Chains A and B, each alone.
Chain A
Amino acid sequence: MSLIDNINKAFDHRIRLGIMSVLMVNDHADFKMLKELLGATDGNLASHAKALEKAAYIQVEKQFIGRKPNTRYAATKLGKAEFKKHIDALEKLIGK
């Protein structure tokens, strides 16, 4: 079935789903904000973010706020489009 094809394996995890959800409605989010929102540990969040980054669904911007390093994430165009497809597929599957 073609619907199943649109279910994206890259989003098939609670943390990845969460990261993408946050980045769909916010221009960007920093590591700390994501951590608090998703209730994830540092390592867990970092590895899932890495996976999404590898797929080019999100981009990472490292910068300094004063002297503190700050990592923030933003969804790429590709990531937003793919996530939208994923949500549509989920909704259709529920509807059936």
Chain B
Amino acid sequence: MEPNKYLEDITEIKNIMNRSSRFISLSGLSGVLAGIYALIGAALAYTRLKMMSSANYEGLSGRSSSLWGTDVIRDLSLIAGAVVVLAAVTGFLMTLRKSKRSGEKIWDATSKRLVVNFFIPLISGGIFCLVLIQYGLPGLVAPATLIFYGLACINASKYTMGDVRYMGLAFLLIGLISTQFIGYGLYFWALGFGIFHILYGSMMYFKYDRNRNL
């Protein structure tokens, strides 16, 4: 037997270990797009909040007393919901495309594990945020979303590209920092969900996706 055969064996072993335990068809470009949606969403939310505050100063209407009037909450929720749905759909479609190209099945043991482990911290975080609102602590919602999203990424990173772990840590860090700057949640959101997604998404795109296309 020649050394070539051994080398082949080792490569095959590594390849199968990766393929059987990690879902590697996550699209980096979808991260970039998610970041762009988030930035647009943040800009919309910002103008909406501006509108609200100027309206409050001008009119002494009965509603001005409730700073977080119901229609502001509704509009902000709509914006946030639209961003999440758009990002999720884009992410799904681009991952589907990439998995088709690389011949990896989109719904197999690895992707199931990835999704389950991503959503455990995320859903707990979502419920926790509802509780924060319930107790009248909306200022902590932004830090909590960043922290739980970071934890979700860290938890999921074991089942996909390891780089996701570092993005998770970055989210965790700015989430904790933002707890000291209540009221600036929107800026931290834009930094995290916008800038970080774009940054890490493009990093992953250049590292994994581009070479495949060439």
Contacts and interface: CB of A to CB of B under 8 A. Distances in A.
Interface of A: 14, 17-18, 20-22, 24-26, 29, 33, 36-38, 87, 90-91, 93-94, 96
Interface in B156-213: none
Contacts of B19: 37
A14 B17 contact: no
A87 B3 CA distance: 13
Contacts of A22: 16-17, 20
Contacts of A91: 10
Contacts of A94: 3, 6-7, 10
B38 to A, nearest CB: 34
A25 B21 contact: yes
B133 interface: no
A25 B18 CA distance: 8
A37 B16 contact: yes
Given A25-B21, A33-B108, A90 B6 contact: yes
B3 A93 contact: yes
B75 interface: no
Which 10 A-B pairs have CB atoms at the shortest separation, nearest pair first? A21-B16, A25-B21, A22-B20, A21-B13, A90-B6, A25-B17, A93-B6, A21-B17, A18-B16, A94-B6
29 contacts: A17-B12, A17-B16, A21-B12, A21-B13, A21-B17, A22-B16, A24-B17, A25-B17, A25-B20, A26-B20, A26-B21, A26-B109, A29-B20, A33-B20, A33-B108, A36-B105, A37-B20, A38-B16, A87-B13, A90-B9, A90-B10, A91-B10, A93-B3, A93-B6, A94-B3, A94-B6, A94-B7, A94-B10, A96-B3
Contacts of A26: 20-21, 109
Interface residues of B, number: 15
Given A17-B13, A20-B13, A21-B13, 7 more contacts: A22-B17, A22-B20, A25-B20, A26-B21, A26-B109, A37-B19, A96-B3
Chain A CB count within 10 A is highest, among B9, B105, B108, for: B9
Contacts, number: 47
B106 to A, nearest CB: 13
A52 to B, nearest CB: 15
A14 B12 contact: yes
Contacts of B21: 25-26
Interface in B76-128: 105, 108-109
Interface in B19-73: 19-21
A90 B21 CA distance: 22
Contacts of A14: 12
B6 to A, nearest CB: 5
Contacts of A29: 20, 109
